[in-house]
Structure 1
Amino acid sequence: MTSHIRIAQQNTRKSLMATKELLSEFQKHKIDLVLVQEPNTQNTNRILGYPLQATIHQVGNNSKPKTGIVINNKTLYTKTLDNYTNSWMTSIQVQLDKTQLIISNIYIEPNTMIDEHIETLRNLLKDYEHLPLILAGDFNARHTLWHDRIVNKHGELICELINDFDLQIHNENSPTCITDNGNSIIDLTLSNSRATPHIKQWNSKGPLSGIFDHVYITFEFSSKNIPHRTPFSTRKFDEKKADWTKFHKHFSADRIKKLTKQLGKANNARKIDQIIKQFTRIIQNAAYHSIPIIKTSPYLRRCNWWDDELRCMQIVVRNKRYIFSREKNPQVREHYYNEFRSFRNKYVRMIRRKKFLKWKEFLEELHSQDTWGNTYKMIKHKTNPKSHTLPIIEDFPVKEHPMIMEKIVNQIFPSQASRSSPNFSLDRIGNTTQHINLTRDYIESLIHKTNSKKAPGIDCITNGMLKQIKSLISNFLAKLFEKCLNIGYFPKQWKKGALTIFPKPNKADLHNSKNYRPITLLSSIGKLLEKIIQTNIQNYLIETKKLNSNQHGFVPEKSTITALFEIKKKILNYKADRLTSILAIDFTGAFDNADWDIILQNMTNLNIPSYLIRIISSYFHNRQIIFTYNKHRYSKTTTHGCPQGSPLSPLLWNILINNLLDTFSVNNASIFAYADDITIVCSGKNIKELHNTILTALEHVNTWSISNNLTINFNKTNILNFHKKSFPSPIIINDNLVEIVPKIKILGLTFENHHLRNKINFTTHINNTINKTINVKNILNNYCKNTFGINTRKRQNLYKGLIRPMMIYGSEIWSDQINRKQIDKLESLQHSILRNSLMAFRTVSKSCVSSLTRIETLRTNIEVRKIKFLHKNRIELINTLDLNQHIRDIKNLELDRLFLNTNVNFRLFFVDKIPKFIFTNFYTTQFFTGHGPFNEYLHRMKIANNPFCFALNVIEKIHKEDEISSELSYRIKSHKFHFK
């Protein structure tokens, strides 16, 4: 914990370049927080120009901010004071050891101070008089009390405020605003009696450069034991800088061989745990000697575009400004000012150029062919920003954090009776022995398939490390896993998980633990054993067909699409001649409240082999979660629940809920499940019968949930009617009203009633998809311009891998339910995005764009997906030996059709088809399509009369009809000329 907070204040006069220069300055000197007046907003309601990861406190409610506080030190605990934050004032609370520091940043425009301003400041000083408080900013107030030459109205009012509340003025006898019209002291730093003793090293450096009219002010607030966030992560080693040769050198293969021999004699749990402990230390030791520890700075990343040339120019501009500001002779002063202004403009242009070139280099990544680089990461961050804060803890004093952590864990994982292991007796199952044989190749394939980006467990051993030594450890792990399976023991080291919680999206109350999603980070080695167990259980259930066919979650050859297809099919079947409703049921904390005894009993009822039941029982025994926040740590032995993050958890949940699917036998109702998402389609000949069917179905599920120690979340359980009739009475279960909604979202697809019996309304889903796609398209267009950005290939890969899957999700379900206008909107969006990928003019046709990108129309893609889905699930089989070739033929036929629909210029250029080696960019696309100012280009290059190029004098308007386009802007005499 440091003993001071470094604070800076600066008026940037709404300038982006001034903001960038300020950014380089406070990052260089490790300023903790910056009070900014007149920030750069570019006529929006947000402060712009700072890094994406920066925390910025500003006014909300769509008000244009005139002040803001930028937190450069992300480890500080800060919170906006909403009552004292508005367009001209930003107030925050900084957590100290035993109290809070209040900082208020003020900007009042010249000659605008009114009673409301003074009254707000008085209320702030009264409300927080018992806490240290700092008032700072640009008051546009002048008074001799703080050594200014004159007194204005603002100065009189602020002077009265200072006297009434006994505020300390920290300004010295130096100007804070330097312009060609003169100097003044209008930027003030004030503090109350509780803050004054802690403020030190107040310093006015003068203007950083000519960009600023206002000086750069810094000071420190000193206090004992200022609390800071200490980021916790199980990812300890920086594998990007790993020396894998050194890692192999320090990895002791001989010791692994000795441990393998010891395994043969290990016949009990204690010896197995000792061997695993030694094995873990061998890998960790190799990592410590070859991979650097990840070091995180509490401060924002420095500007990599700020170089020595800019620093030299900054010094020159600063000196020129100093010379003109000190000159008394008006004529000489004007000469110096013009000289200063000229060089300042040159300096600003250089900042803009340096920044743009670095930004372009960052986005384009010319050294890399990876599509999923910086541009992709920027899009993901914009569309799905991640919050790294935990208001449920951080909004409270530090001394209360241990108690809050304990409360969070106990609320998410409540204890069940007084047990740390299942009450299920293993005597109920047979005592048969099973000898399992695992091969080295199988273990190596398991390791190879792991995701290197997955976070490790508390042992900090990553999948990347295991991949490096898989050939050296595969034999040992095969013997170890065999031993665990044969004796029915899951090692205790792998039952400890690091708990991390994330705020759920779109949740307002972040002080409620139910609005956080718990993820348990488990050992990477332990998860290999879990995958082996999961595979064996899954294979048994599939072979014996004991898993209910209505379960679509985490089942081979099933998905959300198969679940939605069955739901849609059942709705349309019922809807044809009956009243129909669907019921979406949600369980409260389903995975976290799964009962171990019931899972084991269900496994026994399903006749799962006894060795698998034994190891699952051991898997549940004495499981421990460890929640770490800063230097505080709380651990708890869980008594129920399937850890989210475990490969076994989805399968164990499926075993638990399988009994519900098997026993559900309500007339005129069908049940479908995707993991814990339950959907029931109900029907009735009349409204009374439908009402009774829904009640019966709900009562059945509610009875089952009570007997299985689960709770239905009635706030999220809804009914959607596919009719317009009203029920005779509300649907109530145990005094809980089930709400009837006009639309319902199931597995990412929004269902609505349609007035036609053979239709389901997906209008809301299509509109939401269009809006999301437009949002992503606009973000992509910001990063991919005609003159810079990733190349054409990467742009098209981004579309095919990121945007198109989002656009056509569930198309197998809704493609035959939407109208032509809706599909045309989606088609138009694809054209717009692909046209951007080619850097083509807006007038380029869809046919030309599709031909150059070799990407079929969205209609064709949707049809192809549906054909593949129906064939794969044996719903509509295609009479072909090679489905993939059949799909390629469909796409090629569509591309050929599109090529024939292109303009004459395009077809003359390529004659038959487009070669694969064609490279498109802003200029080549114009030549290929015939859209662009070619006459101007050819004259500029002085080749208008070149024998290879016949340019017409008039080229701007050639888009009347395909027949008229024979009047080309140019003709190509030799194809080879352009391909060179």
Structure 2
Amino acid sequence: MALPPGIPTLEASRTKNLTRPDNVFCTPAILERLRICTVLHDKRPTKTDHFPIQTVFDMPTAAAVRRPRKDFRRVDWAEFGRALTERVEARHFPTNINTKARFDQVLNSLMDDLQATIAEQVPETADTPYAKRWWSAELAKMRSEKERLGRIAFRHRATPAHPSHAEYRRYRNIYADNITAAKNDFWKAWIDSIDGKTIWDANRFLKRGATDGGRARIPPIRVPGEGGRERVLHTNEEKGAEFHHTFFLPPSTAIVPTGPYPKPLYDFKPITDTQVRRAIKALRAFKAPGPDAVPNEVYKHCADTLTPVLGSLFRATFTLQYYPERWKVSDTVVLQKPGKEDYTVAKAWRPIALLDCMSKILSRCVADVLVFEAEQKAMLADLQFGGRAGRTTTDSIHLVTKIVKDAWRRRHVASVVFLDIKSAFPAASPERLYHNLRMRGVPVQYVDWLRVKLSGRKTRIHFDDFSSELFDIVSGIDQGCPLSVILYAFYNSDLIDSADTKRGEHAVGSMDDVALVVTGKTFESCHDKVRRFMERDGGTQDWSAAHNSAFSLDKFGLINCKAQPKRIGLGPQLTLSDGTVVQPTDHHRFLGVLVDQALKFKQHVASAYARGSRLVSQIRRLAKARNGLTLPIVRRLYLSVVVPSMLYAADTFLTPIRKLAGHTRKHGSAGNIRRLAQIQRQALLVMTGALRTSPTDALEAHARLLPFDLLVDKICHRAAVRLCTLPKTHPLAPHVRRAGLKLVKSHRSSLHELLDAYRRWLAYRDTERIRPVRLHPRWTPRHRTHILADREAAVEDDARWALDGAYRVYTDGSDVDGGVGAAALLYAPGQEEPEVLQLYLGPSTRHTVYEAEIVATILGMELLRRALLCTQHA
């Protein structure tokens, strides 16, 4: 026992008797290192009768190194930009870089300027790992006074009537009341501070669940040892090596062909400053930076200063075929995978790659070109939906259900096999990627540049307070890179294309998730097609071996779909030639949607209900009637968090409620919508604080929310409009065209239901087809846009603008005396009087100024259209 005898550890609240119910026990080895074990009677916390016990051991531990962090939310960006511009202009950076040495010199000088400006202009965040945000200096003084009175009272513990005991008790109660008040005041202030910008902080707070907010620590990791025995890794160095072995797979040993390659489908063109500026504009603010410690905010606020220098560097990286070493180093942060049962295995953790922000801007410029040309030249697999412009995950679900229902209409059956590629991005073979790019017509300049970029990569793994040594990355595609999505689309397009659609095979892919849909007269014939698809030359198994991409056998899914599933049960199992048996199930999750045998989506509706109920329960924690979030904030949380999560892919599993001609009952997913509407009612009670017996329609009116069936109708209508605008190159386009022209009598797919529900208001033949990509990344607009802060600045700028001799268009929307209107003016060259268009939208109770601004822009475009003799750039 470490605590010496005779020392009391508790003072009874009523009798004030001192007793010893608490003890401290140590093993003999630890007891040898014991230095202090005593009771601190003067530091007893409030609302307890136990005294704290202080125990000190002589165990030297290495304290974590404090890493100062910069607070980029409190930066004066005008002053920051001025300081950076002075440094950059003093360098006189060249516009053309001809040697690798000159490239490194320019890059290092630019990084020095950025780091120096950050050190000078950006304040550091307060390092308070133990502080409570509600704590104050007054409470610290009161704690010192409480401890002083506690020492006095303990000295007179033998005299119960001594006045020091009453004084100590009174002051301790005051101290406890002040702590409670400080917590409440801080909570009220935080609740009151939540607005449209900080609402997402509240959402992150809710997502954490019931936790103390501490960071997850890496426990000892279990790995297989020699002789089948399990080995436990305790040191951070061992854990880091195991994470590197798990996250970064060895290179492929498959032989990669070397050609011949077809002629490129488009020409290589150097990166322009316009592309750089557009890539910087697309950066997301307040994201963790890479090893360079220069975040996206610096590039976004200083784009005018940095764009010319970055443009020179980015063009030189192609002409010199050079990728600097500092861009090849990344940080890999280890995070928990949510919902895992055992976190003592490395697979229960996932990596997050933090790349150099400057290199990500370059990758974004290249990715924009690859995406545009891939869509324009049809370079990717037709049924590849993941990461492509103009395509969504719901498109692939629509296609799967449409193929199955079409088979049912022919009195056929269908089998759907769900494939999941194991460690898709880390397992990708760079050499196979280069080959696929060349075979699909990507210019050799981009492929050679990628070869330089992906070679010699290194990463440092970070977890807890540990940073590992640099590890080599010899395979895979960087998941945090803007290029990763389009590169993997090229990488697995051969898998999607290997399906023979003429024989009833359809491989519907979305990145590493693939659904193989086969149709036939019997399930046995369907399974034969599955085996042929997987085992024939050029099939799934050949692709897997050639691309170093194994399929996760534990994630294989099989659904045997028949119009009357109760007659067959789950159907027969699928047995592959290698002995692998895939058991059929009644449902399987594909791209976030639970697809079932009968395509009724009952399981998914139950899942959506549970998800919505959980989110509303979390919001209830902050939306209490007293000291809670206000109704507008809760309403926005519901519409921005709960509705998108609960009604994700609603157009695939919910049918709008409507009346059909000749029918007395309403048609649509009335039962499912009625069930999900209960979630909205729960949210309405939270928003308004109303009684549970309050009528739903009254709550919806007070909260300004659409009735739930109309909310579903709005979502489905938006999806139907989008489907009607799909171009001919989209794989759903022919299905949408047929569904839009004719309503079938039996086995209607979600496409049939959607387009029939809005046939009166949405004519498929008259709807514009919108291409997924329309403008090349190198495109520059033929007009200049001036948006000024106030009227005086506009008048001053107009005098300079008028000297250009070009067409000038002025647009504005406003709310005057409760009326919202829009206007546009056009000054043609040589004309003093403008052309004017104006429109009164209506009262401000029904229209907004933002709506008027859009209408004013449309009016301005109409004025330009009317100027038929316009030959100059506007």
Could you tell me the TM-score, scaled by structure 1's length? 0.66
Q: Identify which of 291, 298, 304 aligns with 2:134.
A: 304
2:191 equivalent in structure 1: 363
Q: Identify which of 35, 41, 54 aligns with 1:206.
A: 41
CA RMSD of superposed structures (Å): 3.7
Do the aligned partners of residues 364 and 327 (structure 1) sit closer, same or farther apart at CA in structure 2, a change above 3 Å counting?
same
Q: Identify which of 184, 188, 203 aligns with 1:376.
A: 203
How far, CA to CA, are the matches of 1:269 and 1:501 in structure 2?
34
Q: Identify which of 658, 667, 670 aligns with 1:820.
A: 670
- Distance apart, 1:839 and its partner CA: 3.2
- Distance apart, 1:542 and its partner CA: 0.9
- Distance apart, 1:321 and its partner CA: 10
Contact 1:624 1:637 in 2 (8 A): yes
Do the aligned partners of residues 287 and 536 (structure 1) sit closer, same or farther apart at CA in structure 2, a change above 3 Å counting?
same
Read off the aligned partner of 1:380 and give its amino acid letter. Answer: K
Structure 1 residue 289 corresponds to structure 2 residue 120: yes
Structure 1 residue 678 corresponds to structure 2 residue 514: yes
Structure 1 residue 752 corresponds to structure 2 residue 752: no
Structure 1 residue 481 corresponds to structure 2 residue 345: no
Do the aligned partners of residues 212 and 584 (structure 1) sit closer, same or farther apart at CA in structure 2, a change above 3 Å counting?
same
Structure 1 residue 793 corresponds to structure 2 residue 632: yes
How far, CA to CA, are the matches of 1:764 and 1:697 in structure 2?
29
Do the aligned partners of residues 513 and 310 (structure 1) sit closer, same or farther apart at CA in structure 2, a change above 3 Å counting?
closer
Contact 1:463 1:524 in 2 (8 A): yes
1:865 equivalent in structure 2: 715
- The SS at the match of 2:342 is coil
- Distance apart, 1:719 and its partner CA: 0.7
1:977 equivalent in structure 2: none
How far, CA to CA, are the matches of 2:354 and 2:705 in structure 1?
40
- The SS at the match of 1:681 is strand
- Distance apart, 1:531 and its partner CA: 0.9
Percent identity of paired positions between Structure 1 and Structure 2? 16
2:300 equivalent in structure 1: 467
- Distance apart, 1:322 and its partner CA: 6.6
How far, CA to CA, are the matches of 2:412 and 2:266 in structure 1?
54
How far, CA to CA, are the matches of 1:286 and 1:478 in structure 2?
21
Structure 1 residue 219 corresponds to structure 2 residue 69: no
- Distance apart, 1:579 and its partner CA: 2.2
How far, CA to CA, are the matches of 2:149 and 2:90 in structure 1?
71
Contact 2:264 2:438 in 1 (8 A): no
Do the aligned partners of residues 322 and 303 (structure 1) sit closer, same or farther apart at CA in structure 2, a change above 3 Å counting?
farther
How far, CA to CA, are the matches of 1:194 and 1:386 in structure 2?
30
Read off the aligned partner of 1:360 and give its amino acid letter. Answer: K
Q: Identify which of 433, 445, 449 aligns with 2:278.
A: 445
Read off the aligned partner of 2:529 and give its amino acid letter. Answer: T
Contact 2:382 2:497 in 1 (8 A): no
How far, CA to CA, are the matches of 2:475 and 2:153 in structure 1?
75
Post-superposition Cα deviations, 1:824-877, rounded to whole Å, max 9, x if no partner, equal 122122122134223333343222222233221222122222222222222348
1:741 equivalent in structure 2: 585
2:855 equivalent in structure 1: none
How far, CA to CA, are the matches of 1:627 and 1:424 in structure 2?
34
Post-superposition Cα deviations, 1:426-469, rounded to whole Å, max 9, x if no partner, equal 99687999673554444233212211122211111110111221
How far, CA to CA, are the matches of 2:339 and 2:544 in structure 1?
27
- Distance apart, 1:660 and its partner CA: 1.7
* Range with greater deviation from structure 2 (239-248 or 694-703): 239-248
How far, CA to CA, are the matches of 2:317 and 2:167 in structure 1?
81
- The SS at the match of 2:276 is helix
Do the aligned partners of residues 223 and 341 (structure 1) sit closer, same or farther apart at CA in structure 2, a change above 3 Å counting?
closer
- Distance apart, 1:319 and its partner CA: 4.2
Structure 1 residue 454 corresponds to structure 2 residue 287: yes
Give 1:476-515 correspondences, 5 Å limit: 476-515=309-348
Q: Identify which of 202, 218, 236 aligns with 1:390.
A: 218
- Distance apart, 1:654 and its partner CA: 0.6
- Distance apart, 1:582 and its partner CA: 1.2
Q: Which has the higher contact order (CA 8 A, sep 6+)?
A: 2
Read off the aligned partner of 1:291 and give its amino acid letter. Answer: V
How far, CA to CA, are the matches of 1:456 and 1:440 in structure 2?
23
Structure 1 residue 354 corresponds to structure 2 residue 182: yes
How far, CA to CA, are the matches of 1:397 and 1:259 in structure 2?
56
1:601 equivalent in structure 2: 435
Contact 1:362 1:374 in 2 (8 A): no
- The SS at the match of 2:371 is helix
How far, CA to CA, are the matches of 1:472 and 1:581 in structure 2?
58
Read off the aligned partner of 1:736 and give its amino acid letter. Answer: T
Do the aligned partners of residues 456 and 351 (structure 1) sit closer, same or farther apart at CA in structure 2, a change above 3 Å counting?
closer
Post-superposition Cα deviations, 1:223-264, rounded to whole Å, max 9, x if no partner, equal 13x2455688xx942213435455335425454574631x51
- Distance apart, 1:329 and its partner CA: 7.8
Contact 2:252 2:547 in 1 (8 A): no
- The SS at the match of 2:24 is strand
Do the aligned partners of residues 210 and 282 (structure 1) sit closer, same or farther apart at CA in structure 2, a change above 3 Å counting?
closer
Structure 1 residue 651 corresponds to structure 2 residue 486: yes
Do the aligned partners of residues 435 and 713 (structure 1) sit closer, same or farther apart at CA in structure 2, a change above 3 Å counting?
closer
Read off the aligned partner of 2:397 and give its amino acid letter. Answer: L
- The SS at the match of 1:405 is helix
Q: Identify which of 493, 496, 518 aligns with 2:351.
A: 518
Structure 1 residue 851 corresponds to structure 2 residue 701: yes
Contact 1:688 1:727 in 2 (8 A): no
How far, CA to CA, are the matches of 2:47 and 2:345 in structure 1?
46
- Distance apart, 1:655 and its partner CA: 0.3
Post-superposition Cα deviations, 1:609-664, rounded to whole Å, max 9, x if no partner, equal 23222222222222222224545523233222111111111111110111122221
Q: Identify which of 551, 564, 567 aligns with 2:397.
A: 564
How far, CA to CA, are the matches of 2:550 and 2:516 in structure 1?
17
Post-superposition Cα deviations, 1:798-826, rounded to whole Å, max 9, x if no partner, equal 11111111111110100029842331122
How far, CA to CA, are the matches of 1:635 and 1:313 in structure 2?
47
How far, CA to CA, are the matches of 2:146 and 2:591 in structure 1?
62
Unaligned runs of 5+ in 1: 1-166, 755-759, 884-912, 918-980
Do the aligned partners of residues 433 and 381 (structure 1) sit closer, same or farther apart at CA in structure 2, a change above 3 Å counting?
closer
Do the aligned partners of residues 744 and 278 (structure 1) sit closer, same or farther apart at CA in structure 2, a change above 3 Å counting?
same
- Distance apart, 1:309 and its partner CA: 6.2
Q: Identify which of 591, 601, 606 aligns with 1:767.
A: 606
Post-superposition Cα deviations, 1:12-49, rounded to whole Å, max 9, x if no partner, equal xxxxxxxxxxxxxxxxxxxxxxxxxxxxxxxxxxxxxx
Read off the aligned partner of 2:181 and give its amino acid letter. Answer: R
Do the aligned partners of residues 726 and 624 (structure 1) sit closer, same or farther apart at CA in structure 2, a change above 3 Å counting?
same
Contact 1:834 1:853 in 2 (8 A): yes
1:697 equivalent in structure 2: 533
- Distance apart, 1:779 and its partner CA: 1.9
2:690 equivalent in structure 1: 840
1:891 equivalent in structure 2: none
- The SS at the match of 2:209 is helix
How far, CA to CA, are the matches of 2:329 and 2:403 in structure 1?
44
How far, CA to CA, are the matches of 2:272 and 2:573 in structure 1?
63
1:552 equivalent in structure 2: 385
Do the aligned partners of residues 430 and 729 (structure 1) sit closer, same or farther apart at CA in structure 2, a change above 3 Å counting?
closer
Do the aligned partners of residues 746 and 473 (structure 1) sit closer, same or farther apart at CA in structure 2, a change above 3 Å counting?
same
How far, CA to CA, are the matches of 2:253 and 2:240 in structure 1?
21
How far, CA to CA, are the matches of 2:2 and 2:86 in structure 1?
69
Q: Identify which of 494, 497, 502 aligns with 1:662.
A: 497
* Range with greater deviation from structure 2 (183-192 or 740-749): 183-192
Unaligned runs of 5+ in 2: 224-230, 657-667, 725-735, 737-754, 769-842, 848-874
Do the aligned partners of residues 310 and 230 (structure 1) sit closer, same or farther apart at CA in structure 2, a change above 3 Å counting?
closer
Could you tell me the TM-score, scaled by structure 2's length? 0.73
Contact 1:495 1:622 in 2 (8 A): yes
- Distance apart, 1:783 and its partner CA: 1.1
- Distance apart, 1:215 and its partner CA: 1.2
- Distance apart, 1:320 and its partner CA: 8.5
- Distance apart, 1:914 and its partner CA: 12
Contact 2:88 2:305 in 1 (8 A): no
